[in-house]
Chain A
Amino acid sequence: AQSVTQPDIHITVSEGASLELRCNYSYGATPYLFWYVQSPGQGLQLLLKYFSGDTLVQGIKGFEAEFKRSQSSFNLRKPSVHWSDAAEYFCAVVTGTASKLTFGTGTRLQVTL
Chain B
Amino acid sequence: DAGVTQSPTHLIKTRGQHVTLRCSPISGHKSVSWYQQVLGQGPQFIFQYYEKEERGRGNFPDRFSARQFPNYSSELNVNALLLGDSALYLCASSRKGLAGASGELFFGEGSRLTVL
* Interface set of A (CB-CB < 8 Å, partner B): 32, 34, 36, 41-46, 49, 51, 90, 92, 94, 96-106
In Å, the complex CA distance between A105 and B101 comes to 25
B99 touches A100 (CB 8 A): no
Interface of B is mostly: loop
Q: Write out, one digit per residue, whether chain B residues 87-116 have a CB within 8 A of any chain A CB (1) or not (0).
A: 000101000011111011111111000000
Taking a contact as CB atoms closer than 8 A, the residue among B41, B101, B104 that contacts A46 in the complex is B104
In Å, the complex CA distance between A11 and B32 comes to 33
Contacts A43-B90, A43-B108, A46-B104 known; A104 to B42 CB distance under 8 Å? yes
Interface residue tally on B, bucketed by range = 20 to 34
A44-B92, A105-B42 known; 16 other A-B pairs, CB under 8 Å? A34-B104, A42-B110, A43-B108, A44-B90, A45-B107, A46-B105, A92-B42, A98-B98, A99-B56, A100-B33, A100-B58, A101-B43, A101-B98, A101-B105, A105-B41, A106-B41
- Chain A nearest CB: distance from B16 CB in Å? 27
B45 touches A102 (CB 8 A): yes
* Interface set of B (CB-CB < 8 Å, partner A): 4, 33, 35, 40-45, 48, 50, 55-56, 58, 90, 92, 97-101, 103-110
Contacts A43-B90, A43-B107 known; A100 to B56 CB distance under 8 Å? yes
Q: Which residue, of B58, B105, B110, has the highest number of chain A Cβ atoms within 10 A? A: B105
A32 touches B41 (CB 8 A): no
Closest to A94 in B: B98
In Å, the complex CA distance between A42 and B48 comes to 21
Contacts A90-B42, A100-B48, A100-B56 known; A44 to B107 CB distance under 8 Å? yes
In Å, the complex CA distance between A101 and B99 comes to 11
B residues in contact with A41, CB < 8 Å: 109
B103 touches A43 (CB 8 A): no
